[in-house]
DNA sequence: TTGCTCCTCACGTCACGTGAGGTGGC
DNA sequence: TTGCTCCTCACGTCACGTGAGGTGGC
């Protein structure tokens, strides 16, 4: 049975895979941002699976790109959890009405997440635009220098 | 002469204008990120001008949008200072060759700053794209539910 | 003189980093 | 048994927040 068992990872493996440190993973667990990673006796190694890696990767990416505090990140993790739950419900759903209800809820979650991203993106776009304008003005002055 | 003197601001005024706190301004000064804000005897109030406000506003914006550490921010502040210096040199420049040299240097500074912005923007664009795709897939499934 | 804002320590906090000393599994 | 990674305290650090106690200017 061990041949078909899913790959079990230790905290150092997970940290390397997602580009962080064991300490950060323990810290997030301590703060309730990640689930306690399997049952285990005190002083025992934590054990993780592929799904945990994917989840953590997504969480860290959202934090980095959006610059969120752990408090804000907690809310986002909750919405990611709802998304996962809804997707599995969608698979098991049996009636058309139920599927429609779940899909509408999924759409609402996506809208909410997009709003967070759009705010940051707008600020960056503006900054990018300003620098490009500066470049254009410099180029124009250089061209007029060459032209005369 | 006091009628034509430039508006002199205190640290609390500046903090409000740029949306931060006096403590942060003092901290940045302490860390060498901002100049010591006018000569003043120990225990005297700090005094600022309009130019200081503009500078600080830009610095804070770069920090927030790019998510930089104070160490990285220091380098960016240095490049902003070079930019200001180059611009005033450009005004005073007398030969065509000098102007060309300064303009090329200004262009290099802008390129460098844009590179910083583009990296962040690319990450955000990808995230934005993924969420929009999710929305589109949800909408397609909803449409097919209605269609059948 | 009364408020208000300012000043300088200096300790608190958030999100981890970094050893210290000890235990677990190939 | 030897390495390696893991474990739990626990103190350090970075970027400030937050009083504590006192001084300065309309």
Contact B65 A111 (CB under 8 A): no
Backbone angles phi, psi at B9, to 5 degrees: -110, 150
Chain A residues with CB-CB distance to B123 below 8 A:
64-65
Q: What is the pLDDT of residue A20?
A: 96
pLDDT at B1 over 50: no
Q: What is the pLDDT of residue B102?
A: 97
The structure tokens listed for B94 are: 């007398």
- Concatenate the DSSP letters of all residues of A23-83 into one string: HHHHHHHHTTSS---S---TTPPP-B-HHHHHHHHHHHHHHHHHT--HHHHHHHHHHHHHH
Determine which of A62, A63, A89, A110 to mutate to test the interface with B (most B C-beta atoms within 10 Å): A110
Q: What is the pLDDT of residue A73?
A: 95
Mean pLDDT of all residues in B89-111: 96
Which A-chain residues 28-87 have CB contacts (< 8 A) with chain B?
61-62, 64-65, 67
Nearest-neighbour CA in chain B from A106: distance (Å):
7
Nucleotides of C under 7 A from a protein CB: 5-8, 10, 14-18, 23-25
Q: What is the pLDDT of residue A2?
A: 40
Q: What is the pLDDT of residue B6?
A: 67
Backbone angles phi, psi at A9, to 5 degrees: -110, 150
* End-to-end Cα spacing for chain B: 81
Q: What is the pLDDT of residue A146?
A: 83
Mean pLDDT of all residues in A88-100: 95
Q: Cβ within 7 Å of strand D: which of A 19-58?
A: 22-23, 26, 42-46
CB < 7 A from strand C, the residues are A 20-21, 23-24, 27-28, 31, 43-45, 63, 69-71; B 10-13, 15, 22-23, 26, 42-46
Q: What is the pLDDT of residue A148?
A: 67
- Give the number of other CB atoms < 10 A from CB of residue A12: 13
Residue A10 Cβ < 7 Å to strand D: yes
Residue-wise pLDDT tens digits, A52-67: 999 999 999 999 999 9
| Residue A113: CA count within 13 A, CB half-sphere | 31
In chain A, DSSP finds a helix count (H) and a strand count (E) of 5, 0
User: Which band of pLDDT confidence, cut at 50, 70 and 90, is reported for residue B76?
Assistant: very high
User: Long-range contacts made by residues B121-126, C-beta under 8 angstroms, separation at least 24?
Assistant: B121/A121, B121/A124, B121/A125, B121/A128, B123/A64, B123/A65, B124/A65, B124/A117, B124/A120, B124/A121, B124/A124, B125/A121
Contact B114 A103 (CB under 8 A): no
Mean pLDDT of all residues in A70-82: 93
pLDDT at A30 over 90: yes
User: Which band of pLDDT confidence, cut at 50, 70 and 90, is reported for residue B3?
Assistant: very low
Please name the residue whose C-alpha is nearest to the C1' of nucleotide D5.
A12
Q: What is the pLDDT of residue A5?
A: 58
Cα A51 from chain centre: 13
Q: What is the pLDDT of residue A1?
A: 42
- Per cent of chain A over pLDDT 70 is 92
Q: What is the pLDDT of residue B87?
A: 96
Nearest C-alpha neighbor of A67 from the set B66, B73, B121: B66
Q: What is the pLDDT of residue B69?
A: 94
More confident residue, B104 or A44: B104
Please check whether residue A121 is in contact with residue A114, taking contact to mean a CB–CB distance below 8 angstroms. no
Q: What is the pLDDT of residue B120?
A: 92
Q: What is the pLDDT of residue B147?
A: 79
Of the listed ranges A37-46, A105-114, B31-40, B62-71, the one predicted with least confidence: A37-46
> Reduced to 3 states, what is the DSSP secondary structure of residue A114?
helix
Residue-wise pLDDT tens digits, A101-137: 999 999 999 999 999 999 999 999 999 999 999 999 9
Q: What is the dihedral of CA B67, A114, B121, B129, to 10 degrees?
A: 150
Q: What is the pLDDT of residue A40?
A: 72
Contact A120 B124 (CB under 8 A): yes
pLDDT at A7 over 80: no
Write down the mean pLDDT value for chain A. 90
Provide the b/e sequence for B110-122 (b: ≥16 CB within 10 Å): beebbebbeebbe
Mean pLDDT of all residues in B54-70: 93
Please check whether residue A107 is in contact with residue B138, taking contact to mean a CB–CB distance below 8 angstroms. yes
Q: What is the pLDDT of residue A26?
A: 95
Please check whether residue B6 is in contact with residue B49, taking contact to mean a CB–CB distance below 8 angstroms. yes
Cα B78 to Cα B29, B37, B114, distances in angstroms:
14, 17, 15
């Amino acid at each position: 049975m061990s041949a078909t068992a899913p790959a079990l990872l230790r905290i150092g493996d997970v940290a390397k895979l997602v580009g962080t440190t064991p300490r950060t993973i323990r810290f997030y667990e301590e703060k309730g941002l990640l689930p306690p990673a399997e049952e285990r006796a005190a002083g025992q190694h934590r054990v993780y699976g592929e799904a945990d890696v994917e989840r953590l990767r997504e969480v860290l990416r959202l934090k980095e790109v959006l610059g969120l505090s752990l408090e804000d990140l907690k809310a986002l993790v909750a919405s990611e959890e709802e998304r996962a739950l809804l997707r599995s419900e969608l698979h098991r759903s049996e009636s058309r009405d139920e599927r429609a209800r779940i899909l509408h809820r999924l759409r609402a979650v996506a809208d909410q997440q997009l709003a967070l991203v759009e705010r940051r993106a707008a600020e960056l776009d503006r900054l990018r635009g300003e620098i490009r304008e500066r470049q254009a003005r410099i180029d124009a002055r250089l061209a007029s220098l060459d032209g005369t």
